[in-house]
Structure 1
């Protein structure tokens, strides 16, 4: 396959742009009807034409048979064209004046010379097209750097103030290519205009179509786009088909912006004299290759082997056509090439249809996920289903506006089908785009499945931590992708509020008993026995809660800090006040260490080790000097 550097045909900067419907040269003013020429003038025209035409008659001159007129002498080639044009005008004038005014035998002789001249020009036209592939064929010049890249490199050299010799060499090379290209195009145009004006346009067009169509067809083949039936595509393994898709994604950029664009520019230039011929030539040259190119995505989209992971290759093809759409419409603007545009549209429509079907199948997969399909996630962490679904939706949303285009026709979920738990967090169906509602609905389906999986935890506090972790992962993915723009800030804010709600429920259920063991306001103990009992009650509740929760996991750093700050801040501060109020009541009893197992710093250290999935340390330490320390996680929430 040619490299990405394939560039369009070098062309004369004076060539008219084809952005407008009339991409050729402006029409020439109509000439007045010629008067019948005098016999003397007839003789001069025929004599001048005969000398030059017969000189280059390949049937009578071995020199003319092996030599090219346009390569041998540009000046003489121009004279040849002028002689033929003069001869044609004279013949036209004679024919218009009527047989009575036509010189005897001279019109027949002029016709004889005209036929010889047309054979010569036909041969020259063929030779220029054949021998100038390097200057006229965008495929052949793909090995060279593009004109823009070369100019950019020269500019870099100039800016750096160095590489003068290299810059000059690059300039010379580019100038040589452009000069040869411009000359070849100019020669082709002058020959085509002369032959068309002389009534031999059919022969000229036939040569052009044969040569240029073979170049386009070869270019499509070299780009790796092959003819393939729908049945073959349907039976092809996805790995093989995916490789063809990747190849097509590179090919379509080159084909549109270089191959077809270059052919359109060349055709418009050579046949600028006739809009009808321009259209006919370009249509026949490009239609088969373009239909093959733009028909490929439709074949892929019809494959029955498409699954959720294939979605993104479809979107890549949709994006490739969408990005090239202005060029496609401009290049194939002729009525005779409208089938190419229709084929590109059909591929877009089929891709959209398949993408919507894949997304529906993806929803079915989520719906079929059984709460018992996997054991509860250790520590209440993020479930694999959450990761999978959110990665998928985030990638989908990152395709930007084309996602909205494709899923515009998605059926909107009915409000009664939305789970009541999340109903108030769904986008408003009256205002939100269809794609936003569709993605929000898929997330709701996911959250309902997670709600079912949360019920498998025996510890209710752990189930709420599981919900908080998974919803936080959902929100984080939305924030970090194009989902945020599609779902809206209000959606994100509402779900962030639910994360806090789940985290609050976890804190209340997991650590509420510990906080309840500390008397509110920490009144002074009336006796050592009361102080001992209160310390014993706190120790028991804290150690039980810690043993249950020390395996808990909070992967998200922000959520982990919030939970630790909330639990630690309240617990450490309350215990500090409790310790300061009740420790003096124990006096200097020998067994005081049995009751006062922790100092506030011990609680800070224990809590600092939580929610990392490391399991923390064992509780029940009887001396603060041997308590767990962690310099990198130690915090003092109550100070």
Structure 2
């Protein structure tokens, strides 16, 4: 009994322990159940990941089996893309400095471009397969929705990068590398583009002028060509052309600045007539020839060398832009401005100067600016030539009419040579010179061809002869306009001598002939004789000796007679001297010859008279009234006659036939006036 009791106690103890343990667990459970909030939050946090993890297990078996194939097909191109992408960034470290190692830089750049092309091509395939996977996962609910949304966003970013010319697939590495290459292109140009040194004085450009060699060394050209090839392959040729045009046109402008070409910007309103810019027109021809043969010729050759592999259209287009920006258009505009100025005979010569300059450069213009990219330069040049030819022919055609219109203008009051006569004789000689006759003839031929008319060989010659004949008629008309016949003779003496002297030995004189020249020389002698006889030649008769011998015994009577005759001589001399002191003989030899004739007509007679009869009045208290002059003082006064006044050289301006002219070809002081 005692043993059973002991065994029972042990069993009870064990049961008690179990109950106590169960009780503690129950208490713990009760305590936990009393706080459900935190526990449910933890369960809620872990459920999504748990759900995503077990979703493939919940998906249909067929969907789980098929997803493996989709993944395998997408992994291969995706892995290739990642591998190439890693290779591209490996090339970044291999890109050297293009300035120090251009061939190496270009080689790496080519590999980079090829890798990027491969990346772009395969990236599209990888995106397509990954897109299929996402679509499959979404349709078959194999993956979590949030995960699918994340995948879609990533694929959308990849598509955007690919559509932007693949520029972002390499993180902008190729674009940056190409920009460095463009900078190297600019650096090579700028460091090797040096303005052509100008001569210390204005350039004299003649037939022997050499064409400037290519201004860039061959190695530099080769580097530029290599850079152009790589940039052109990346659609950056236009950027290179812009850089090239900017640098080279700036270089040409810097060369031209030394020539001081500010006058090219002059406008029609800034000058009154062609004479005011005559010097600029002469400079224009020299500067244009220098620019074409030295600067633009060199740029044309250099464009062909640098852009040789890009094609003729590219090189010509590049050159045309350089020429336009460097200043060729300004040269052509200046010529056009001259054609728009007022009509004037001098303008004809200046237009022919412009025509001669353009004609001399005709072959150069056709070669340099003959391509279609230079259409603007061609059009401006053709327009300028047309304006020059039409303007020159129009002025030449109006010369005869303008000379005839001058007949209504009063002759010069000083009896000198009218400005029209001296101007036209010199002008016609210049038209017949080797400088202008060929150009004027060519202009007339071209102008007639435009009108579908045949040019007559003697058109120029006959027109010049008609102008000279009109001048002769003008002289006759003007001589009859004087109220004083003596001044009329003086005027004709002056002008016949001028025609003879200034045309003898000239092309115009040879055209008129020796008989014509001799005729004017004879007319000069004829009018000179009449002039002296009808004016100064009448004075010696006032110093008559008649009656003085009869009164030899009566000094008082003789003295009175001498006084009377000296007084009459002095009054006549003073009046004539005062009147003719304003008359002018421009030609020195003619002036000296005329004064000599007058002195010979008066002084010997006066000297003899004073020697014989001067003593009768010299001791008289009023002797100074009668013995007013000595023979020496008379000779000095007469020898100083007909001195020319300061002249203002000019031209007469072309007017329409109905136009009005100012009063007189020369002003009262003998200075030529411009007819307006």
Normalising by structure 1, what TM-score? Answer: 0.52
Cα distance, 1:188 vs. partner? 1.6
Cα distance, 1:563 vs. partner? 0.5
2:563–2:617 contact (8 Å) kept in structure 1? no
Cα distance, 1:330 vs. partner? 4.8
Deviations 1:17-74 (A, max 9, x none): xxxxxxxxxxxxxxxxxxxxxxxxxxxxxxxxxxxxx99989941673xx642x1225
Per the alignment, residue 146 of structure 1 pairs with 197
Structure 2 distance, partners of 1:288, 1:612, is: 55
Per the alignment, residue 452 of structure 2 pairs with none
Per the alignment, residue 347 of structure 1 pairs with 384
Q: Does 1:448 align with 2:473?
A: yes
Count matched residues.
457
Q: Does 1:548 align with 2:548?
A: no
Structure 1 distance, partners of 2:631, 2:577, is: 19
Structure 1 distance, partners of 2:277, 2:539, is: 63
For residues 453-468 of structure 1, the aligned pairs below 5 Å read 453-468=478-493
Structure 2 distance, partners of 1:586, 1:123, is: 114
Per the alignment, residue 304 of structure 2 pairs with 268
Structure 1 distance, partners of 2:643, 2:542, is: 26
- In 2 relative to 1, CA 584–528 (structure 1 residues): closer, same or farther, beyond 3 Å? farther
Structure 2 distance, partners of 1:293, 1:437, is: 38
For residues 244-259 of structure 1, the aligned pairs below 5 Å read 249=284, 252=288, 255-257=291-293, 259=295
Cα distance, 1:270 vs. partner? 1.9
Q: Tell me the secondary structure at the aligned position of residue 369 of structure 1.
A: helix
Structure 2 distance, partners of 1:550, 1:240, is: 39
Q: Does 1:604 align with 2:635?
A: yes
1:125–1:204 contact (8 Å) kept in structure 2? no
For residues 114-513 of structure 1, the aligned pairs below 5 Å read 126-135=182-191, 141-142=194-195, 146=197, 183-191=219-227, 206-213=238-245, 237=269, 239=271, 249=284, 252=288, 255-257=291-293, 259-272=295-308, 276=312, 280-281=316-317, 285=321, 292=329, 296=333, 299-300=336-337, 303=340, 306-307=343-344, 311=348, 314-315=351-352, 317-322=354-359, 324-325=361-362, 327-332=364-369, 344=381, 346-361=383-398, 363-369=400-406, 371=408, 373=409, 377-383=412-418, 385=420, 389=423, 393=427, 401-402=435-436, 404-406=438-440, 438-439=463-464, 441-470=466-495, 484=506, 488=510, 498-513=523-538
Q: Radius of gyration: which is bigger? A: 2
Structure 2 distance, partners of 1:369, 1:310, is: 19
Of 576, 599, 609 in structure 2, the residue corresponding to residue 568 of structure 1 is: 599
Structure 2 distance, partners of 1:294, 1:602, is: 62
Could you tell which deviates more after superposition, 72-81 or 549-558? Answer: 72-81
For residues 31-110 of structure 1, the aligned pairs below 5 Å read 60-61=91-92, 64=95, 68-69=97-98, 71-73=99-101, 76=104
Cα distance, 1:455 vs. partner? 2.5
Cα distance, 1:351 vs. partner? 0.4
Deviations 1:328-362 (A, max 9, x none): 34534668769856753552342022023234445
1:238–1:305 contact (8 Å) kept in structure 2? no
1:436–1:487 contact (8 Å) kept in structure 2? no
2:345–2:399 contact (8 Å) kept in structure 1? yes
Structure 1 distance, partners of 2:179, 2:438, is: 55
- In 2 relative to 1, CA 344–539 (structure 1 residues): closer, same or farther, beyond 3 Å? same
Q: Please, what is the CA RMSD of the aligned residues?
A: 6.3
- In 2 relative to 1, CA 62–329 (structure 1 residues): closer, same or farther, beyond 3 Å? same
Q: Tell me the secondary structure at the aligned position of residue 300 of structure 2.
A: helix
Structure 2 distance, partners of 1:497, 1:201, is: 87
2:403–2:471 contact (8 Å) kept in structure 1? yes
Deviations 1:67-101 (A, max 9, x none): 642x12257469889x99xx9xxxxxxxxxxxxxx
Cα distance, 1:363 vs. partner? 4.6
Structure 2 distance, partners of 1:181, 1:377, is: 68
Structure 1 distance, partners of 2:273, 2:355, is: 16
2:343–2:395 contact (8 Å) kept in structure 1? yes
Cα distance, 1:402 vs. partner? 4.0
1:525–1:585 contact (8 Å) kept in structure 2? no
Structure 2 distance, partners of 1:286, 1:313, is: 29
Structure 1 distance, partners of 2:355, 2:550, is: 80
Cα distance, 1:602 vs. partner? 5.3
Which 5+ residue runs of structure 1 have no aligned equivalent? 1-53, 88-117, 153-177, 412-429, 615-639
2:493–2:527 contact (8 Å) kept in structure 1? yes
Cα distance, 1:207 vs. partner? 4.9
1:121–1:191 contact (8 Å) kept in structure 2? no
Deviations 1:169-201 (A, max 9, x none): xxxxxxxxx998654323124555x669xxx78
Structure 1 distance, partners of 2:199, 2:316, is: 31
Structure 1 distance, partners of 2:372, 2:614, is: 99
- In 2 relative to 1, CA 211–57 (structure 1 residues): closer, same or farther, beyond 3 Å? farther
1:568–1:604 contact (8 Å) kept in structure 2? yes
- In 2 relative to 1, CA 546–297 (structure 1 residues): closer, same or farther, beyond 3 Å? same
Cα distance, 1:462 vs. partner? 1.2
- In 2 relative to 1, CA 478–560 (structure 1 residues): closer, same or farther, beyond 3 Å? same
Q: Tell me the secondary structure at the aligned position of residue 535 of structure 2.
A: helix
Q: Tell me the secondary structure at the aligned position of residue 642 of structure 2.
A: coil
Structure 2 distance, partners of 1:361, 1:55, is: 85
1:390–1:477 contact (8 Å) kept in structure 2? no
